[in-house]
Amino acid sequence: MEVVVYGSLRSATGSKEVTLSPTEQTVAGVIEALCDAYPRAESHLVDDEDALRPSVRVAVDGETADMDRSCPPDAKIEIFPAMRGG
């Protein structure tokens, strides 16, 4: 599954697009797979209780998605961490 990452996640993944193989075909599964594959991304995505940070947005096929949303293998997944700057 191809996932596009933005902002600070690029420094954690080393690329704008990454290929993941989540065990669960949901947004939660994609986030877990991303954190497993790129441990430096975890602090950008989840808090101390392993919950998705409120400032993180995930889009599936262009629509904002919650953690339970299904992610078919051909879906376009985009992850937007908190943006900084002014």
Between CA 3 and CA 10, with CA 27 as vertex, the angle to 5 degrees is 35
**Each residue's pLDDT tens digit, 37-60:** 999 999 999 998 889 999 999 999
Report pLDDT for 8.
87
Distance CA 27, CA 29 (A): 5
Instruction: Give the global pTM.
Output: 0.91
- Judged against a pLDDT cut of 80, whether residue 84 lies above it is answered with no
Distance CA 55, CA 57 (A): 7
Mean pLDDT of 65-81: 94
- Judged against a pLDDT cut of 80, whether residue 5 lies above it is answered with yes
What domains sit in the chain, N to C, each tagged with a CATH number? 2-80 (3.10.20.30)
Q: Which two tokens stand for residue 27?
A: 């947004």
Report pLDDT for 85.
54
- Judged against a pLDDT cut of 60, whether residue 86 lies above it is answered with no
Tell me how many helices (H) and strands (E) the chain has.
3, 5
